[in-house]
Every structure is written in C-alpha cells, then in structure tokens.
Amino acid sequence: MKVLIVDDEELIRNVIKEYAEIEKYEVYEAENGLKAIEIIENNDIDVIVLDIMMPKLDGYSTYREIKKIKKIPTIILSARSEEYDKLFGFELGVDDYLAKPFSPKELIARIKAVTRRNQKDELEDKFVYKTLEVDFVGHTVKIDNEEITLTPKAFEILTYFIQNQKVAISRDTLLNKIWGYDFFGDDRTVDTHIKMLRNSLGEYRDLIKTVRGLGYKFEIK
C-alpha cells in the first residue's frame, strides 16, 4: 500500500515513515501541498496523511485540489484541535482528523481503518422508502429524484443505519464501526455527524430516532 505523508516538519514525516514502513507500506513524502499534488498526479496513492498548516498551500486547499484529481482516503493532522477545524475538514470530505501531538501507533491504526473502509465490497442493492433512494453502489442519495450531497462519513452512517434498521445503536458502536478504532475523546463527534445527516435528509430526518441514554435507531414509519 502506498502512503503519502504531507507535512512541512521533516521530523514528523520521519516518525510516520518509520512506523509505516514497519507495516510494509510504501511511503512517499511531500513538504508542502504543491509537491503533494505533483506526487498524486504521477502515482497511485492509497492513503494520504495531510498536515493543515503548511507553507505555499495549506492542507485544506491541498485537499480540495487533490479531490479534483482523484478520490483518496485522507487523514488530516493539525496542531489545532478546535471543533470548527474538525467540522470543516469533515464537511470537505476528509476521512479522519488527528490532533498533534499524536501517537504514531494510533495514526497507523487509523490508516488501516480508513483503507479498510474504502476497500470493502460495496452493497449491491438500493434502499428505497417513498421518495428517498440510497444507492449503495453509486454512493448517491436522492430525494424526489434530486441528488443530495452527503459527506463520506454521513453516507457511511446512513448505510450502517439502513443495514441495522430498528436496532438501537450506541454512540460507541458507531464510533467503532464507522471510524474503525477506539475513539480517544468524547462522543460529540457522533452527535455532530448525526445532526449534519438529519439536516441533509430534510423531510426524512425523523427516520433517525434518538434513543435516550444510548444513541440512535433508524426506523421507517
């Protein structure tokens, strides 16, 4: 597997590279966003570890440009841990967010998780309820034949809900199933994504029920 590490701090790149190579990953390095884009254009990268604060082109702008080229699982690194930064990254479509300083072992676990999620077989089916249509193969959601935009995480959550209809699902379960690792922090991340998903579903927002003291449940009327 090919991993691209994008960070202007050589020491951080070296640490990540050391741990990635233990896992037998092929590592590419870029000290800024422009170099990262050049590497993406000329190599089949499987996952990106991307710093936000860099010279020439910041991480968010770099990610926007990369998305124009190809879709690649991306983990954002940042010395800033404000909720706004996380939400902004998720809204752009990044797969994960890790605040500095971080554990290299945790980063490797997250790399494995995002690549595992992106490599799993797609469901060969559609979910249709009234005018709501979820295409698991095409990765699209439509309401009244109009496609709505969901972040990758929101689509994964909706898919998991549909697969587990009428089952009360805890926040911890969602963190482990969707994020794929033991989450270090509180569970507000789940609530934030559920809020975004409900807003996107509009008239179908009530299909996601809140289970007091536990989590959520997807239930059609």
Model confidence, pTM: 0.56
- pLDDT tens-digit map of 16-55: 999 999 999 999 999 999 999 999 999 989 999 999 888 8
pLDDT at 117 over 80: no
Task: Give the domain 2-119 fold.
Answer: Rossmann fold (3.40.50)
What architecture is domain 126-218?
A: Orthogonal Bundle (1.10)
- Residue identified by tokens 């998903």 is 197
- Strand (E) or helix (H) holding 11: helix 10-22
Q: For residue 11, what pLDDT is reported?
A: 95
pLDDT tens-digit map of 45-74 = 999 999 988 888 989 999 999 988 888 999
Parse the chain into domains and list their residue ranges. Answer: 2-119, 126-218
Least confident range from 127-131, 132-136, 188-192: namely 188-192
Question: Do 2-119 and 126-218 fold alike per CATH?
Answer: no
pLDDT value of residue 95: 85
Contact (CB, 8 A) for 8 and 50: no
